[in-house]
Structure 1
Amino acid sequence: MEELIKKALSRSNKVSQNSLIEKIIPVGGGCIHKAWCIHFQNGRRVFAKSNHIDNINMFKFERECLSVLKRFADKSYLCVPKTLDLVSYQNISIHFLEWIDLKQCQQNLLGKGLALLHKSSSESSQKDFGWEEEGFIGSNRQIRGWSSNWGEFFVNYRLRPQLIQAKSWGVDVNDYKDILIFLSSYLNDHHPKISIVHGDLWSGNCGSTNNSLGSLYDPASYWADREVDISMTKLFGGFNREFYKGYEEIWPLDKFSKDRTDIYNLYHLLNHANIFGGSYKENSLRILKDLRSRF
């Protein structure tokens, strides 16, 4: 694999910048792609992610997400890695990115940086919720499309596709038709501003740089209610009081935002159930049952 990466790099001056490779070291942590740290003789390092060429659209989606996040990120608080190149060679695709040294997360600046990202993007001229191209949420598809109605978008482009896919393990989307209709209206009555979101914000997809800035990576972005990011930070844990304090200092959340947390996290639980199965199925069904009793 290292030899394939070297040959792919020979096609890209954007990455090598005419410096010779010193070594290529595997990096752990991912479950979809293989990852590498490329050391050049001039001391520079580059991050590389590789996969089969059939999965190149995953990297194209990631490249676009990072580009949009970087456009709205405040560099005083938040670091988003820059895409250097996307190269296909033989049967592999490789996404080359700026290398960022990470340390134990200093979460106050991460929270402030996320709030500023949400806030600045909400002040742009974006008219609708959604995303232009089909994306990915983990290894699963994230449906493309647009809507000016937030509730309709989230139900039709996020929840419903996952519920349809859940037919393979016994879920009938028609059993939840009444809930989906209600949620569509309920979420739209919230009247959220349109913000760019990370879209897959668990603790493994963010961190802090050596100079204590927050950092975001591995996104599944779209234009959405900012609360989808905050909700996911509460799904698997890993975010402390300083994170939420930093966020609230910049852009306080609606006092009813907690009422929507389970609704937004249902998307991720269903996605995990569809990919991994196990207890994610039970948790998805529990939230669906709770939603029926609430509404």
Structure 2
Amino acid sequence: MDIIEKTLSTIGDESRIQKQTSVSGGDINHAFYVQTERQAYFIKTNAGVPSHFFQAEAEGLQTIQQTKTIRVPSVYHYDMPENREPAALVMEWIESGNRNDHAALGHQLAHMHKHTSNSYGYGAPTFVGQLDQPNTWAPSWVDYYRTCRLGAQLDIGISKKRMTNKRRKRMEALMSRLDQYLPAHPEASLLHGDLWGGNYMMDEHGQPVLIDPSILYGDHAFELAFTEVFGGFPADFYNHYQEVFPLPEHYEEIKPLYQLFYLLAHLNMFGESYGPAVDRILKHYTE
């Protein structure tokens, strides 16, 4: 019995598989559309991943779903492999549509961001792409961002030899003065945490669906800054977002600091092609 049949049996669907097709699921997992006699599923599989790999994604989706603000796929099952054996995440299959309602995406995301916590960060490790994302709860957003975001990427960069002496010195200088730039106590909004163009879709009715979260609670400007890293979303998204949850007046000043985290992660995952963008931001804030 393969991993897909085994997993479907675990959730009580032992009906015959009528169709199984490989679909695009990112660079990390194998992903499949599976139609049984009972229903259709979206199933991700992987082997050799940490035990909490699929748990982090599943719990992120479930947390967003509980806000009742924006659609996410329902989660039916996830494995927590102890010995890096093959594992699966089973979700609702959502048909994609041709109409894109970016106004609804902005509006609904802003309402999701209105769900808040009393602390910053998250109480369990997650992932950014293939990289481990350590998380703790912190009373200050600056403390969380310094330690769990910039500090974690600095450590990875040192281990991967992505940090030149000048780059490392600038990183350490910026981290030491981070409280000069970032708000210590913005609203601790529920954030998707990895919101780029590939991590949302539109369903058959043209309504937005969030996928592949790496959730945390933090400054909502952090989320919006990431949407602008690779070209930005359509104007309707930003206009309707700000009708519900306006960005702070200092957003343009802090946006590069928030984009720095994602550029560091890409530098650590994909190499020096992201180095110049990292260096420009570091130079701007340290010279």
TM over 0.5: yes
Residue correspondence of structure 1 range 1-295 to structure 2 within 5 A: 3-13=2-12, 16=13, 18-42=14-38, 44-74=39-69, 78-87=70-79, 91-104=85-98, 105-119=100-114, 121-122=115-116, 126-167=117-158, 168-172=161-165, 173-189=168-184, 191-293=185-287
Q: Provide the secondary structure at the position in 1 that maps to 2:247.
A: coil
Post-superposition shift, 1:176? 3.2
Task: Give me the identity figure in percent.
Answer: 29
Aligned-partner residue type, residue 12 of structure 1: I
Q: Provide the secondary structure at the position in 2 that maps to 1:26.
A: strand
| Alpha-carbon distance between aligned partners in 1 of 2:55 and 2:164, rounded to the nearest angstrom | 32
CA contact (8 A) 1:205 1:218 kept: yes
Cα deviation 1:100-142 (Å, max 9, x = unaligned): 11234321100001000001x13xxx22101111111100011
| Alpha-carbon distance between aligned partners in 2 of 1:73 and 1:277, rounded to the nearest angstrom | 39
Post-superposition shift, 1:88? 6.5
Q: Provide the secondary structure at the position in 1 that maps to 2:195.
A: coil
1:73 to 1:282, Cα distance in 2 relative to 1, 3 A: farther
Aligned-partner residue type, residue 128 of structure 1: S
Q: Provide the secondary structure at the position in 1 that maps to 2:15.
A: coil
Aligned residues: 280
| Alpha-carbon distance between aligned partners in 2 of 1:219 and 1:137, rounded to the nearest angstrom | 9
TM-score where L is the length of structure 2? 0.91
> Higher helix share goes to which structure?
1
Q: Alignment RMSD, CA only?
A: 1.9
Unaligned runs of 5+ in 2: none
| Alpha-carbon distance between aligned partners in 2 of 1:196 and 1:24, rounded to the nearest angstrom | 35
Aligned-partner residue type, residue 254 of structure 1: P
Aligned-partner residue type, residue 129 of structure 2: G
Post-superposition shift, 1:177? 2.8
Post-superposition shift, 1:92? 0.6
Aligned-partner residue type, residue 67 of structure 1: Q
TM-score where L is the length of structure 1? 0.89
